[in-house]
């Protein structure tokens, strides 16, 4: 792990920096991930409206720069992104460990079936693939895989939509 990494709760004042990490990471992940369906301004607006009373935002910072983030609801890890310039340094693993610590009952997440690097990352960290879809319910219309963190209760029929930009 990066020795100068700081993990801290995010605030509304951090949402612009979070959006920039998100945009850089999504662009760098193509073609493992499908290209974004929303333009940069729509993504910035969507993330800028994140209601931090309804979810938890955790940041990874190096120096005074946000280099990664995790966004969690009570039962879902909605986002975990690391700036491409800082990937492979343990930041994603640190954020995932933090997510597990703050959600000891576990959580689920979605990853695109085509995103082999992300799927391998989550497997290395002990998450288990528990289902998949043909992609008809996500905005990209690409097959995806549902993963579960250890400790998550196996509630039959539990589902949540992928974060649509409204």
What does pLDDT average to over the chain?
91
CA distance 120 to 14: 29
pLDDT the model gives residue 14 = 98
Residue that the structure tokens 């343990």 belong to? 90
Task: Indicate the pTM of the whole model.
Answer: 0.88
pLDDT the model gives residue 4 = 93
What fold characterizes domain 5-148?
Aminopeptidase (3.40.630)
Structure tokens at 69: 């983030």
Report whether 77 contacts 70 (CB < 8 A): yes
Summarised one tens digit per residue, pLDDT across range 77-98 is 999 999 999 999 999 999 999 9
Summarised one tens digit per residue, pLDDT across range 19-58 is 999 999 999 999 999 999 999 999 999 999 999 999 999 9
Q: What number is the average pLDDT over the span 63-74?
A: 96
């Amino acid at each position: 792990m990066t020795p100068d990494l700081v993990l801290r709760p995010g605030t509304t004042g951090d949402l612009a920096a979070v959006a920039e990490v998100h945009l850089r990471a999504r662009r760098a992940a193509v073609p493992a991930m499908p290209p974004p369906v929303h333009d940069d301004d729509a993504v910035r607006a969507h993330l800028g409206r994140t209601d931090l009373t309804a979810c938890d935002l955790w940041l990874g910072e190096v120096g005074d720069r946000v280099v990664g983030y995790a966004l969690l609801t009570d039962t879902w890890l909605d986002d975990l992104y690391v700036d491409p310039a800082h990937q492979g340094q343990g930041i994603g693993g640190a954020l995932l460990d933090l997510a597990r610590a703050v959600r000891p009952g576990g959580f689920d997440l979605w990853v695109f079936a085509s995103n082999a690097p992300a799927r391998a990352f989550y497997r290395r960290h002990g998450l288990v693939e528990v289902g998949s879809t043909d992609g008809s319910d996500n905005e990209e219309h690409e097959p995806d895989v549902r993963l579960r963190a250890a400790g998550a209760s196996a509630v039959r029929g539990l589902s949540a939509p992928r974060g649509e930009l409204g």
